[in-house]
Chains A and B, each alone.
Chain A
Amino acid sequence: MGVTEPVLLVIVVATALAFDFTNGFHDTGNAMATSIATRALKPKQAVILSAVLNAAGAFLSLTVAATIAKGIVDAGVVTLPVVLAGLVGGIVWNLVTWLLGIPSSSSHALVGGVVGAVLAAAGTSGVLWTGLVSKVLLPALIAPVVAIGVAAVATRLVTMITKDVPQVQNDRLFRWGQIGSASLVSLAHGTNDAQKSMGIILLALIAAGAVPSDASVPLWVIIACAAAMALGTYTGGWRVIRTLGKGLVELESRQGMAAETSSAAVIMLSSHFGYSLSTTHVATGSILGSGVGLRGASVRWGVAGRMALAWLVTVPAAAAVGAACFGVDAALGAWGVVGLLLVACIGIVYRASKRPVHAGNVNEPWGADEVVAGSVVEHDPSLLAVGPQGSSAHVDEDGR
């Protein structure tokens, strides 16, 4: 059988892999931020472990469905240009939130991009609004609340049980629990999210007539998706990791372990019971909950509030980019969209390079002028003082 639009197909597949990369890159922090913040793992060790487990997760379960935004948009209007515009919307929103250091759901970004492209292509009738509200918008509000509750109870129980155990022993032993639970989150992420990209590529291959409509995922697609996600995870979205690990709560090992176990439990159970919650929303909620559950811990709710706002904006913002890309595609063709994406990427990476966050400075004390920070009054000005405390953080070049 002939491939109908080979160039467009290649562009869509490449863009899907690029999205897969940003997905891994953006979500490293969900699993590893707590382990990095409590120094259970060195930053580089953490991202390598997470990358390997994400790749393993991609191979672990291969029940891939060739769908995109199922139940949220009318499947009849999803053409290759719509998929391409949706992917670009997702990538751009992932990069913008990375620049701002805000953890935000990659799957919601993708859904938003596709919704925008569908709106541009078919108008409001192409979007299943009930599905959008019940599958995307409400879960974004519910997930963090559930995770805060579970993680707060877990943290309270753990700290009560171990309250007379010396802190050194607690840190030493709970690190292992922390690494184990964080590994599970990574594995589940690889399985869940790599499959989404595989599904999109499979859908594109079928749509272009490159494989029969009942084909299963070709091996090269699995390998490419696993590799793109692992590479993204290894690159590490350090800005997001920093916000999750240092920006919300000052974490110790017991909290990290309680938070990651809650995340793993809620994420897996939500898929099991058919009520999908975003990994990012659950992981963020769990970290907040570990601050709520520990007596005397303070939570920077201002930072959390900014995130919640970003989650509500995710779908409309990605939709705007998706719709714009669909328009560009109609006017200039797929290469126009690729050009737009490249310009956006270069611009965002350039802005990020002005104030880089990397493995070496990811654990520095949270400052009052941080990009995500709400206001100065929520922070401890002594952290910014020039002196032994400030300088010791700078000596810490390799993140130890």
Chain B
Amino acid sequence: MSNYVEWDALGQVILVGLVVGAGLPALFAVGVRMVASPDARDERGELPMWRKASAGAAFGAVALAIVAAVAAIAAGGH
């Protein structure tokens, strides 16, 4: 069986796949929670600065990952 499956490559796909494939959605979810959880807004209905900043960081990181992915496709990573 070990001749038929490239375990090294497969292991890397699973490991990095979990980090990226599950990590990015989780990061996005953190961003969503920052702006939209029930206690997100103060009594004047505004988002506190720290929530805005963390949401920006989370969404920004996701956007950066998308740009990196497009660059990887263009660079012939395929």
Residues in A lying within 8 Å of B, measured CB to CB: 57, 60-61, 63, 130, 133-134, 138, 142, 146, 149-151, 153-155, 157-158, 161-162, 164-166, 169-170, 173-174, 177, 180, 184, 187-188, 191-192, 195, 254, 257-258, 261-262, 264-266, 268-275, 277
Looking at the complex, which one of B3, B5, B33 makes contact with A142 (CB distance below 8 Å)? B5
**Given A57-B73, A63-B76, A153–B33 Cβ distance below 8 Å?**
no
Taking a contact as CB atoms closer than 8 A, the residue among A138, A149, A155 that contacts B14 in the complex is A149
Interface pair B21/A266, CB less than 8 Å apart: yes
Given contacts A157-B22, A261-B21, contact A191 B73 (CB under 8 A): yes
CB distance from B6 to the nearest CB of A (A): 6
Distance from B54 Cβ to chain A, minimum over Cβ atoms (Å): 13
Bound Cα distance A124, B75 (Å): 38
CB proximity to A under 8 Å, residues B4-44: 4-6, 9-10, 12-14, 16-18, 20-22, 24-26, 28-33, 35-38
Q: How many residues of B contact A (CB 8 A)?
A: 39
Beta-carbon contact of A275 and B9 below 8 Å: yes
Q: Which of A61, A154, A169, A268 contacts B32 (CB 8 A)?
A: A169
| Contact assessment for B10 and A142 in the assembled complex, using a CB-CB cutoff below 8 Å | yes
Q: A60-B73, A61-B76, A164-B37 are in contact. Are A275 and B13 (CB under 8 A)?
A: yes
The smallest C-beta distance from A107 to any residue of chain B, in angstroms, reads: 13
**Do B13 and A184 touch (CB < 8 A)?**
no
Please state if A192 and B78 are interface contacts (CB–CB under 8 Å): yes
Picked from A61, A150, A188, the residue with its CB within 8 Å of the CB of B22 is: A150
A166 and B33 alpha carbons, distance in the complex (Å): 10
Contact A266 B10 (CB under 8 A): no
Residues of A within 8 A of B78 (CB): 61, 188, 191-192, 195, 268, 271-272
A304 to B44, CA, bound (A): 50
Additional 16 contacts, C-beta under 8 A, given A269-B20, A272-B72 = A61-B74, A61-B76, A158-B28, A164-B38, A165-B32, A169-B32, A173-B35, A177-B25, A184-B70, A187-B73, A188-B78, A266-B13, A268-B69, A269-B16, A271-B78, A275-B6
